[in-house]
């Protein structure tokens, strides 16, 4: 689990990311305002090396 800040309302909520060697893009709806957050990340050796949150409506 990782805690992120919503791109829209700036509230925090928790999401689950795959922690194996991967590059992934996922959409997570904020638990507070329900807007979609686009999460792009890359994991190597169980460490997040790239992480970006943007507008999931694009």
Per-residue model confidence (pLDDT) at position 51 = 96
Cα 41 from Cα 32, distance rounded (Å): 22
The C-alpha atoms of residue 6 and residue 45 are separated, in whole angstroms, by 26
43/20 Cα distance (integer angstroms): 6
Digit-coded pLDDT (tens) for 11-26: 999 999 988 899 999 9
> pLDDT value at position 29?
98
Residue 9 — pLDDT band, cuts 50, 70, 90?
very high
How far is C-alpha 37 from the chain's CA centre? 7
Share the mean pLDDT of the chain.
Answer: 95
**What does the domain layout of the chain look like in residue ranges?**
2-55
pTM: 0.89
């Amino acid at each position: 689990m990782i805690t992120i800040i919503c791109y829209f309302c700036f509230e925090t909520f928790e999401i689950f990311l795959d922690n194996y060697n991967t590059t992934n893009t996922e959409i997570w709806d904020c638990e507070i305002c329900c807007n979609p957050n686009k999460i792009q990340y890359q994991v190597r050796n169980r460490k997040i090396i790239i992480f970006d949150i943007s507008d999931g409506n694009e």
